[in-house]
Chain A
Amino acid sequence: MNFSYNWLQLHFDDKLPKPEDLGSVVGLHSFELEGIEEAPHGDTLIDWDVLPNRSSDSLCYQGMAREIGAVLDISYKKWMKPEIVDESFDANLKTSDFVRLVVEEGVQRATKRIATGVQVGPSPQWLVEMLESIGQKSINNVVDITNYVMWETGQPVHAFDYDKIAGEGAKQVDIRYAQDGEKVTDLTGAEHKLDSSMLVIADSEKALDIAGVKGGENSGVDKNTKTVLLSACNFDFQNIRNTARTLKLHTDASKRFENEVPVSKIDDAMLQFAYLMRELAQATVSDEIVDTNPDKEGNREVKLSVSTTNRILGLDLSKEDIVSILKRVGCEVSQDGDDEFAMVVPIDRPDISFAGDLIEEVGRLYGYENLEAEMPTDGFPLPEISNLTKATRTISDRLLALGFYEVKNRTLAESGVVELANPLNKNAGFLRSHLGSDLVAKADRNLAYTDEPRLFEIGKIFSGMDSTGVLETWHWAGVIGRRKIKEKQKQELFLQTKGVVDSAVDALGIKLVWESHEDPAIGAHAVVSVGDEHIGLVGVNWWEINMSLMLPHIGKEISYKKPSKYPRIDRDVAVFVPVETTVSEAEELIKGLLPEETRSFELFDIFEKEDPSAGSGRKRKSFAFRMVFQSDTETLSDEWANKVMDVVYKALEKKGYEIR
């Protein structure tokens, strides 16, 4: 809220620090300083962002003056120009002769007071200037008074032209719920259609205003007004919030009611309202206030201890220090003790309800800038690193080294299994059920920058729901982007993809089982498993794997073997095989024949070629394997290796493969 510096100054006998300094000192101890700007009449506006829990007491000059007094530790005056000295008004004029008040639930308190002989006219210059300095236009003395009272006390008040209220004698005024579709035209001439959740102030014929939000046109004060019904009420804050939101009608009044104006503020506001009507509009004001809830709120007492205060803040304050700070915000000791004591808190500080709230007051007014930074010394257990963190980091690092970029796509998607009740727009009405399609789209987008964008993502997907909850899982997916994939490139590209996936999970000690699968929707692909569990799919140039299912399998088992001191022998074998033969078939055949001295055995080349013996364009495949032999106890001879290979050759030939 923008506060007028000159207006605030009127609450103090001491000279306030200059606006920049006042702005920052309050900014550090109370509310963030949003800005400072010049205002009309040589004034300065200071914009403080009053905190939500303090909006009930500090969205007004009385409240902010008290806050500044507490921060600067100087005394402030609740009442300023004009100072209110005479609190009694006309005893012969009875408000109850003019009005009967009937209210419904949701109205915490309603008060009315009659003023006769009102002279509507221009406001005095000082009032015009004060309102102008905060950007408010002067209308006439009565309307300006209502505005002024609200800015001063934080309690919205309203002036009804009594003669526009229907009825005779003691006219009945209701605060009731509107009928569905009931219309009210506000002071600016705008019409609002209400519903039955909204409160109106009404006479026997019509709604006079939208309670807590805005006055009505049909009951407003004009230049002919002679008798004014002064009104100050307090409503359920949530009701006003809903009304303002539904009508999209956010006013200075609704903003204050939404923030729970303390009920007791009515007393201050009614007093100032009546006083100013008498002084500035020459009104005769009734001494009698018709009040639906005159019971005073009791004092609230909050207990506090010196030791807890110091333990929470990490300070070493004495009881005297604490008490003197809390007195600055208007608290008084009500029950004394060595360590524990009780304080009565100001009635209009509903944010203070337990010890922690008082500790906050002590902390901020003592000054957080005076708090030393201290590292904790409690004995804490050492942190464990979760499998999720391990897997995420290991997989990511492997993929980076293989040229992959990590992207983060949006969770909200156009389609999925789990739907939002209140989406932002219809392209984002679901939670994603997989990562793949967005990733492929991002790869296509990146073809503008590079010929082979390699992308991956690790993120949550939402795969199902029932009445008790939503199933969410960590997935990791990747893609090797290509402009176009030709049929004959598919095998080679698939092996690249497979190589990436295998080397990423290899670092986690996971061995995937690969099985071929066909699905017309996604083409040829592999289903990968850990143990007996299917955990994902790998296509020609993409993969998507359920990482949550992978996590329990993480962990490398290492059985150490002393490295051999003897030389190794390498042997290759290459064979032509029928085109439908898989690598694993050939591998299985050879593996069973290899001796225990075999250190490694792997495929190192594969290609397809026309089969000259079959003719008519039939193809055959070539597999080339390399094996390495090495003994732990002796130097192996060429003869030894030749013998091993003879066995292998014979078996391959017997199977019908052609040795190259």
Chain B
Amino acid sequence: MSDMTFIDVTAPGSRQKQGNLHIISSTIREIEDIFTRLGFEIAEGPEVEDEWHNFDALNVPENHPARDMQDTFWIKGVDKTVLRTHTSGVQNRAMMEKKNPPFRIIAPGRVFRNEALDATHEAQFHQCEGLMVGKEISLANLKGVLLQFLQEFFGDDSVSLRFRPGYFPFVEPGIEVDVTCTKCHGENKECNVCKGSGWIEILGAGMVHPHVLDSAEINSKQFQGFAFGMGIERLVMLKYGVDDIRDFYDGDIPFIEQF
């Protein structure tokens, strides 16, 4: 034998202990990265929003149930001011700032609903808004962009999507988007994710309502576009099987370090 020193290469290497991003942040980052590659700019808006941006500018009528005390948190002592109920309020802000189409933005952020807490309801959660406006941006383009996004997000080129009619006051036509079940791929009638249908409802979308363009001083005769909004917690819950939305906000390292 030579006098070479024996090295136990099976002993664990000394590693610098690393932390981890919260899964909501890393998911938002992933979404931002995909859309940035597709040419979208990241926009931002306030969490405390005036009623006009949160509702009026989005064609939500004065008497819409969403404006009732039950669903929306109102700020005391400041007139007509709410905790934003969706990221859609950024639509008007982004359009007013950009002024001239074409443009495309996404706006991730925190939103609030006055709802009692349970496994699927939180008073706060996160959404990502998307908006693309140009001369010819069509519903077929919405399908193209979302398909590209979803295939990348789920890391699976076989993912497909389908459009169903939906209703949101700020789009017309309004669309509900389903994605093929990422768990059973439509092959398990007992699947607890898609309930055997093979499809999962994943986001709401549609063609921007002309009133929404008009309220941002964009000529709706000349320009058109699509908008979409998705719930980040919902995406994460689907992707990783997290079954209680409250887990996101407990701040426990054993939760955070897994992702």
Contact = CB atoms under 8 A, between A and B. Distances in A.
**Real complex partners, A and B?**
yes
A50 B201 CA distance: 16
Given A403-B19, A405-B253, A408-B248, A372 B48 contact: no
B42 A386 contact: yes
A379 interface: yes
A411 B138 contact: no
Interface residues of A, number: 89
A interface majority secondary structure: mixed
Interface in A341-382: 354, 356-357, 359-360, 363-364, 368-369, 371-382
Contact of A28 (B123, B162, B207): B162
B251 interface: yes
B79 A467 contact: yes
A651 interface: no
B148 A30 contact: no
A53 B167 contact: yes
B134 interface: yes
A383 interface: yes
Given A30-B165, A400-B21, A470-B75, A408 B249 contact: yes
Nearest to A429: B76
A379 B116 CA distance: 46
Nearest to A399: B19
A354 B207 CA distance: 14
User: Considering residues B21, B123, B172, B254, which has the most beta carbons from chain A within 10 angstroms of its beta carbon?
Assistant: B172
B251 A356 contact: no
Interface string B117-155: 100000110000000101111111101110110000000
Contacts of B147: 373
Interface residues of B, number: 84
B243 interface: no
Contact of B77 (A28, A400, A419): A419
B123 A460 contact: no
Contacts of A389: 32, 42
Contacts of B104: 380, 383
Given A30-B165, A52-B167, A410 B19 contact: no
Interface stretch (A292-300, A445-453, A516-524, A590-598): A445-453
Contact of A380 (B39, B47, B74): B39
A51 interface: yes
Contacts of B257: 405
Contacts of B79: 467
A640 B164 CA distance: 81
> Which DSSP category, helix, strand, loop or mixed, fits chain B's interface?
mixed
Contacts of A314: 138-141, 143
A386 B44 contact: yes
Contacts of A406: 19-22, 25, 256
B139 A378 contact: no
B81 A469 contact: yes
A356 B139 CA distance: 12
A245 B249 CA distance: 32
B173 A363 contact: yes
A422 B75 CA distance: 8
Contact of B102 (A29, A53, A378, A385): A378
Contact of B207 (A30, A237, A356, A402): A356
Nearest to A458: B25
A472 to B, nearest CB: 6
Given A369-B163, A467-B77, 17 more contacts: A28-B162, A30-B165, A245-B68, A311-B136, A311-B138, A368-B162, A373-B147, A389-B42, A401-B16, A406-B20, A407-B256, A408-B22, A410-B123, A418-B48, A421-B73, A449-B254, A470-B48
